[in-house]
Structure 1
Amino acid sequence: MIEIRQRAFVMMAHFITLSFVLHQDRSVVEMFKHSRGRTQPGLCSFGQTTSCCLGWRNVNGICQPVCNKSCVNGECVGPGKCLCSKGYKGPQCDEDVNECGFLERPCTQRCMNTHGSYRCYCEPGYTLNADGCTCTSESF
C-alpha cells in the first residue's frame, strides 16, 4: 500500500513539474520547431523536460539571453554578456574606443576620435584619399 502511494506521489510530482515547465516555456516541440532540430543556445534539458536555461527567457518559443544592464552599443549574447559594436568597449558597451590612440594608427597624418569611430585629416598641402585614411601631396 505504501509503495503504491509513493509511486502515485512521484507520478503526480512529475506531472505537475512537466505541466509547469510546458506552460511556462510553451512546448518542447514548439522550441525544437523554431530551432529546426539544431541545438539552440540557452536550451536546457532536465530529464524528460526541456526549457530555457537559467539566465535565458522564452521569447516566442526561442530562448533569448537576459542582460540585467542594457548593452548600450551592442547586443546581449549570453546571460549578462554584451557583444559590443565596432568602436565601443566595456561591460555594457558604453565606453568609446579611442582608435587614434592605438600604436598602429588608422590615419597616416591627423586623426580625430569621434563617438564610436574616428576621422582622418591631412596636413596642409595634402588631400585625403578615397580610402579615408591616407593622404596624397597636392603638388605634382
Structure 2
Amino acid sequence: MDSRVDNVEQIIINSGFKMTYQRRIILNEFYLTSKHMKAEQLYYKVKNKNIGLATVYRTLKIFTDLNIIQEINIDDINYYELKLCINKCIHVHVKCKKCGKIIDIKDAELMDNYLDLSIKLEKLYGIDIMDTNIVIDGVCNLCKEDNHAKTN
C-alpha cells in the first residue's frame, strides 16, 4: 500500500468511520491512477479483491462527503478524482467534445488569477468560496491534430 493512504486514514477515523480493507484498496486506486474514474471503472479495478459494486458506491459517497475525493458531473456522467486540498480548492478540467477525454489543467499562473478573482467575488458578494470546479468543453490536441490531418 501507498504510505500516502496512511495519511488519509486519520481523516476517515476522525470522522467516525473505520478504515476497512475495502476502503484502503479503493483509496489506493485513486493514488495509483492519474485519470478520472467512473464508479464502474473503479469497480473493475478492485473486483478481483472481492469488493462489490455496492461497496464501491458506498465508499465513493463517504470519501466525497469527507472531501477526500471529488465527484465531477460532465454530461450527466459522474467521474471521481482525488481531492485533498487545504483552504480554497480549484479544479479546472477540459472535456474533449470528440473523444471524451478529461484533462486536468494545473497551471500556477491560472490558479493565482483565480485566487485573485475569488477574493474579489468574496468581498463583492460577502461569501466564502471553498471549492471551485470549472469544466471547459473543447477539443484535445490529439483530436485537433487528427482533424487537421484529415483536412490536409
Taking structure 2 as the reference length, the TM-score comes to 0.26
Of structures 1 and 2, the one scoring higher in RCO (CA 8 A, sep 6+) is 2
Give the number of the structure whose alpha-carbon radius of gyration is greater.
1
Structure with greater proportional helix content: 2
